């Protein structure tokens, strides 16, 4: 049910924002553009900034799965990849059936279905991109912000396609930038799921600091889990560590695909409180063995939280001074 609600809301917002970008129904869809976080930070739109951050602290990165048009666009690409894989598997099965009927040898089968796997967080890359974004805001480098902002990236793609379809004469630089953006987003989504959101996107990095402490999170009940790993193979954010029964809330974009694919009902979305979700140190290990103790990751998470908050406040203050 959660997944279906998420899909409906995401498609409504994606459709509205796309129509808005091509100039259709501004009086109906204009409010959707005001929900975008990075433009709101630069415009010092405090109600939206606080609303998105509070939503993230409460529910997690729902913004990335419903409100952000670039995130929803990636989900569409991922879905098309899944449909293509299923079609190729059916085609292969029919081919094997014909070869078997003809008494011919069968080649080694291929699995075209996209299966994701847990990957460690690229913290250095994410921090570097966020630092570059903050520096761009302080130095008024609008072109840099336009390149990195997810809403700007989606807007470039939509307006370029609409312009070409309408016979408009577009600047070569705009077409090249939009084409590279489209190719990069589609390539990453097709092969790596939401890798862009959890590696390059500055908004995703910012929200990940807050979602680490969200009150509601996905958790795995070890007593029900049978280690089939279906949830991890469908996790487009590659954030489910099945070895330690841990869902990285900082990277989870709340697609809820894992819940729908768990036949045992071992994964649930529930209230967990403010305590940050921490991975286990491994079977048979302890805090003493790791040399850090349970408090170290939590302290690091709090430091990241405070540092990101300070950067957010500084960017907003600078934007206000420039207005």
Residue 285 or residue 123, greater confidence: 123
| 22-38 pLDDT per residue, tens | 999 888 989 999 999 99
Is residue 192 one of the residues assigned to a domain? no
Most confident of 38-42, 137-141, 250-254: 250-254
Mean pLDDT, residues 236-245: 94
Q: Tell me, what CATH number does 224's domain have? A: 3.30.70.20
Is residue 249 one of the residues assigned to a domain? yes
Is residue 205 one of the residues assigned to a domain? no
Is residue 114 one of the residues assigned to a domain? no
Is residue 56 one of the residues assigned to a domain? no
* Domain hosting residue 250, numbered range: 213-279+292-315
235: nearest Cα among 249, 215, 223: 249
Write down the mean pLDDT value for the chain. Answer: 86
**Residue 16 in this model has a pLDDT that exceeds 90:** yes
Q: What is the pLDDT of residue 52?
A: 97
Is residue 74 one of the residues assigned to a domain? no
Q: What is the pLDDT of residue 294?
A: 41
What's the CA gap between 114 and 191, in Å, rounded? 8
* Residues in Cβ contact with 186 at an 8 Å cutoff, skipping those fewer than 6 apart: 77
Q: How confident is the model at residue 323 (pLDDT cuts 50, 70, 90)?
A: very low
Q: What is the pLDDT of residue 281?
A: 57
Sort strands 267-271 and 246-247 into parallel, antiparallel or unpaired.
unpaired
**Residue 307 in this model has a pLDDT that exceeds 90:** no
This prediction's pTM: 0.84
What's the CA gap between 239 and 117, in Å, rounded? 8
In 102-229, alpha helices (H):
123-138, 142-148, 150-165, 172-192, 202-211
Number of folded domains that form the chain: 1
What's the CA gap between 97 and 91, in Å, rounded? 10
Q: CA angle, corner 226, sides to 221 and 228, nearest 5?
A: 115
Percentage of the residues of the chain whose pLDDT score is greater than 70 = 85
**Residue 265 in this model has a pLDDT that exceeds 90:** yes
Q: What is the pLDDT of residue 295?
A: 45
Is residue 25 one of the residues assigned to a domain? no
Is residue 156 one of the residues assigned to a domain? no
Q: How confident is the model at residue 85 (pLDDT cuts 50, 70, 90)?
A: very high
What's the CA gap between 307 and 93, in Å, rounded? 54
| 143-163 pLDDT per residue, tens | 888 888 999 999 999 999 999
155: nearest Cα among 33, 254, 62: 33
Q: How confident is the model at residue 141 (pLDDT cuts 50, 70, 90)?
A: confident
- Give the lowest-confidence range in 1-5, 129-133, 296-300: 296-300
């Amino acid at each position: 049910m959660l997944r279906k609600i998420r899909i409906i809301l995401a498609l409504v917002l994606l459709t509205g924002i796309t129509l808005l970008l091509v100039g259709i129904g501004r009086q109906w869809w204009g409010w959707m553009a005001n929900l975008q976080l990075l433009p709101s930070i630069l415009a010092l739109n405090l109600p939206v900034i606080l609303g998105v951050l509070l939503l993230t602290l409460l529910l997690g990165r729902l913004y990335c799965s419903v409100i952000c048009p670039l995130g929803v666009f990636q989900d569409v690409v991922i879905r098309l990849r899944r449909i293509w894989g299923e079609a190729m598997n059916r085609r292969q099965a029919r081919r094997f059936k014909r070869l078997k009927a003809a008494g011919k040898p069968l080649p080694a089968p291929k699995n075209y279905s996209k299966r994701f796997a847990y990957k460690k967080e690229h913290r250095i890359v994410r921090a570097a991109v966020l630092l570059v974004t903050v520096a761009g805001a302080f130095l008024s480098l609008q072109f840099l912000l336009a390149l990195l902002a997810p809403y700007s990236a989606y807007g470039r793609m939509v307006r370029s396609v609409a312009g070409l379809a309408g016979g408009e004469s577009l600047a070569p630089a705009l077409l090249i930038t939009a084409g590279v953006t489209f190719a990069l987003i589609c390539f990453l989504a097709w092969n790596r799921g939401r890798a862009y959101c959890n590696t390059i996107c500055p908004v995703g990095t910012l929200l990940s600091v807050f979602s680490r402490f969200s009150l509601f999170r996905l958790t795995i009940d070890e007593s029900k889990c049978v280690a089939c790993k279906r949830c991890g193979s469908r996790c487009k954010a590659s954030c489910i560590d099945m070895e330690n029964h841990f869902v990285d809330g900082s990277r989870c974009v709340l697609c809820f695909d894992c819940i729908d694919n768990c036949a045992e009902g071992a994964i649930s979305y529930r209230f967990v409180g403010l305590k940050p979700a921490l991975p286990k140190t491994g079977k048979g290990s302890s805090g003493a063995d790791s040399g850090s103790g349970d408090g170290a990751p939590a302290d690091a998470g709090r430091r990241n939280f405070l540092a990101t908050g300070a950067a957010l406040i500084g960017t907003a203050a600078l934007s206000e001074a420039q207005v």
